[in-house]
Structure 1
Amino acid sequence: MLVADEFLPQSIQMGACLITPLQTLLKLILREEFEPTRIYYRDNRSYFNVLLDDNIRKWICRLGFNSSNKYIQLNDEMKTSIKIESVNDIQNYKNEIINVAKQFA
């Protein structure tokens, strides 16, 4: 992953999968409305995608950590982009993240 070590704790190896705290946090947020097995991730060079049903057309949010400008972008009508200081800030937008995901359910 292209995420700075100081921004996210180390990943955890679970079998063939590499689980990061970021993935765990997002699954915990979305599990209130969706089965965790429906949540997928894709890591790109400039951002980290969170997808519903492993469908790139159903991206819920994008997270950018590769520069000093860390952000979360929601796939709402305005493609809202929110500056964040740490991964913990993502929890503050829990309702917004869930509402975006609901549009694809």
Structure 2
Amino acid sequence: MQPLTIPFSLAEKLAIVHALDSVIIADGNVHTGEISTLSELMHRLDFDSNSIVQARNLSTEQGILVLESMSDKKKLVIAEILNEMALADGFAHKKEKSLIFEICEAIGIYRSVL
């Protein structure tokens, strides 16, 4: 896949990575498909493994504030990326769906997800 054409700032990337990491661990299992999708997203979003460590130090509240301040176009991209991660292992777990819905609602996306 090609890198995303919408540029994200470092703070935005860290907030996205924090949300992705939350989706990965939401069901209590880290699947190989999720790791593969994360690797692919690292390339598409232009972040590295250091960003994952930094994102884990970000509080959920800080991440939501950053995501909430983004443009609507970026928010829709985030919803797509989160959905992609939830489906990475072949199906979206109930806990992943719930978390994505909560994130989308918190940042002002009110269209259906997953």
Check whether TM > 0.5.
no
Q: Which structure carries more helix by proportion?
A: 2
Q: Which structure carries more strand by proportion?
A: 1
- TM-score normalised to structure 1 length: 0.31
- TM-score normalised to structure 2 length: 0.29
Greater relative contact order: 1 or 2 (C-alpha under 8 angstroms, separation 6 or more)? 2
